[in-house]
Amino acid sequence: MDLREELFKSRDLKYRDFHKKLVPNIDESKIIGVRVPTVRKIAKKAFLANAQNRCEYYEEIEAFGFCAAMKKCGAAEHKRDIEKFVFLIDNWGTCDTCTAAMKFIGESKGEYFDFICSFIGRGEYPTRFAIVALMDYYLDDEYIDRVLKIYSEIKSDKYYINMALAWALSMAFIKHKGKVMPILESRTLNADVQNKTIQKICDSYRVSKETKSKIKEYKIR
């Protein structure tokens, strides 16, 4: 099986033209134009066929992430795959979609926690990967205090790091309002993260009108 050939067979130029607007930092010539469910199906075929992946196109990197998520192996091999994947990431879409597919992280949280945290500070997308992975798999009673401490200590001027932090903190707020509220009250996050977190919380249907009204007081103006 030729992975690239299969991806090009499923190309949708209208979808490519739409999707390139969502990942404006990616060179259009590197986007084939394949919808995520189709990439996932092709990745599964490639995984079963042990097909070569040159990881040059947007969808090839996405397919690599999906193949890593599908693999049944030990933690050491999973970590090698993650290490390679993390430094291939060059956009938020690939990061978030593939990270959410790596369910094995949630099945062995203790094995991966420190490893995931090790990517913080190693670049915009490695840091985003860590933020999103912690959000996807570690917003539980056992890890929430550690995760919130880590989030609070990340200081960056990178857009995709700050937007990931706001997203993650808003999700943490829904699950652990009493732990996130003091962070917002303290106004120790940078203004972009603070205000975007509040906006995302206010956009949620899972938060009461009273709470939304209260947290708006903590916007940094």
Give the per-residue pLDDT at 136: 98
Give the per-residue pLDDT at 132: 99
Number of folded domains that form the chain: 1
pTM: 0.95
Split at pLDDT 50, 70, 90, the class of 61 is very high
> Is residue 59, in this structure, part of any structural domain at all?
no
74-97: average pLDDT: 97
Percent above pLDDT 70 for the chain: 100
> Is residue 63, in this structure, part of any structural domain at all?
no
Give the per-residue pLDDT at 188: 95
135-163: average pLDDT: 98
Split at pLDDT 50, 70, 90, the class of 135 is very high
Mean pLDDT of the chain: 96
Give the per-residue pLDDT at 105: 98
> Is residue 184, in this structure, part of any structural domain at all?
yes
- The conformational region for residue 123 under phi > 0 = left, psi -120 to 50 = alpha, else beta, is left
> Is residue 213, in this structure, part of any structural domain at all?
yes
> Is residue 116, in this structure, part of any structural domain at all?
no
139-168: average pLDDT: 97
∠ at Cα 147 (199, 196), nearest 5°?
15
Q: Is 176 exposed, middle or buried (0-12, 13-18, 19+ CB in 10 A)?
A: middle
* DSSP state letter for 21: T
> Is residue 205, in this structure, part of any structural domain at all?
yes
> Is residue 180, in this structure, part of any structural domain at all?
yes
Give residue for tokens 């990431």. 89
180-198: average pLDDT: 97
Give the domain extent around 163.
159-221
Tokens of 59: 């969808």
Give the per-residue pLDDT at 65: 97
Give per-residue burial for 36-50: e unless 16+ CB within 10 Å, then b. bebbbebbeebbeee
> Is residue 178, in this structure, part of any structural domain at all?
yes
- How far is 167 from 163, CA to CA, in rounded Å? 6
Split at pLDDT 50, 70, 90, the class of 164 is very high
179-188: average pLDDT: 97
Split at pLDDT 50, 70, 90, the class of 40 is very high
